[in-house]
């Protein structure tokens, strides 16, 4: 090969490799950001539950109107957080259910095709009266 051809191939390989690494980094970064957002939501829910627990204990100790109002505000806030989490979870479940249904359909088609092929082979073998071939 000529030096020029070698340089061209090396350059093309480098560009393809750099593009692949860039795509992997971009995809990984997006996935990490989604996981961080989910972690932040969960952290916020846990924090709200603990704060609600503290306000509950303070109300039980002091029975003040202010504590009752704070408890109600925190309870409503926690309800909104949980509703958002539930909506996101439902969306994820729907998306993954569709993916699973698609894969099950593909597996069923593959199974049907394989079964049909095996049946055709068996019919052909019986038509020609060949003994069953052993598969290794």
Residue 65 in contact with residue 53, Cβ under 8 Å? no
d(CA 22, CA 18): 6
Q: What is the DSSP string of 74-104?
A: HHHHHHHHHHHHHHHHHHHHHHHHHHHHHHH
Judged against a pLDDT cut of 70, whether residue 60 lies above it is answered with yes
Mean pLDDT of 95-112: 90
Crossing angle for the helix pair 65-128 and 3-62, to the nearest 10 degrees: 140
Judged against a pLDDT cut of 90, whether residue 87 lies above it is answered with no
Residue 49 in contact with residue 75, Cβ under 8 Å? no
Mean pLDDT of 12-41: 94
Residue 70 in contact with residue 54, Cβ under 8 Å? no
Q: What is the pTM of this model?
A: 0.56
The pLDDT tens digits for 117-134 are 888 888 888 888 755 555
Judged against a pLDDT cut of 90, whether residue 73 lies above it is answered with yes
63: helix, strand or coil: coil
Q: Is residue 83 assigned to a domain?
A: yes
d(CA 6, CA 12): 10
Q: Is residue 134 assigned to a domain?
A: no
Give me the chain's average pLDDT, please. 88
Q: What is the DSSP string of 3-32?
A: HHHHHHHHHHHHHHHHHHHHHHHHHHHHHH
**Which of 46-55, 105-114, 124-133 has the largest mean confidence?**
46-55
pLDDT at 33: 95
Mean pLDDT of 55-81: 90
> How many domains, the chain?
1
Range of the domain at 62: 3-128
Q: Is residue 113 assigned to a domain?
A: yes
pLDDT at 133: 57
Q: Is residue 136 assigned to a domain?
A: no
């Amino acid at each position: 090969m000529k030096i020029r051809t070698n340089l061209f191939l090396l350059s093309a390989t480098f560009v393809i490799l750099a593009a692949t690494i860039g795509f992997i980094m971009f995809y990984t970064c997006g996935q990490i950001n989604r996981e961080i957002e989910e972690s932040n939501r969960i952290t916020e829910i846990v924090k709200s539950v603990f704060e609600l627990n503290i306000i509950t204990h303070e109300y039980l100790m002091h029975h003040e109107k202010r504590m009752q109002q704070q408890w109600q505000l925190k309870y409503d806030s926690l309800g909104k957080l949980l509703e958002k989490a539930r909506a996101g979870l439902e969306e994820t479940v729907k998306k993954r259910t569709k993916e699973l249904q698609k894969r099950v359909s593909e597996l069923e088609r593959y199974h049907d095709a394989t079964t049909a092929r095996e049946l055709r082979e068996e019919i052909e073998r019986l038509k020609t009266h060949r003994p069953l071939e052993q598969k290794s």
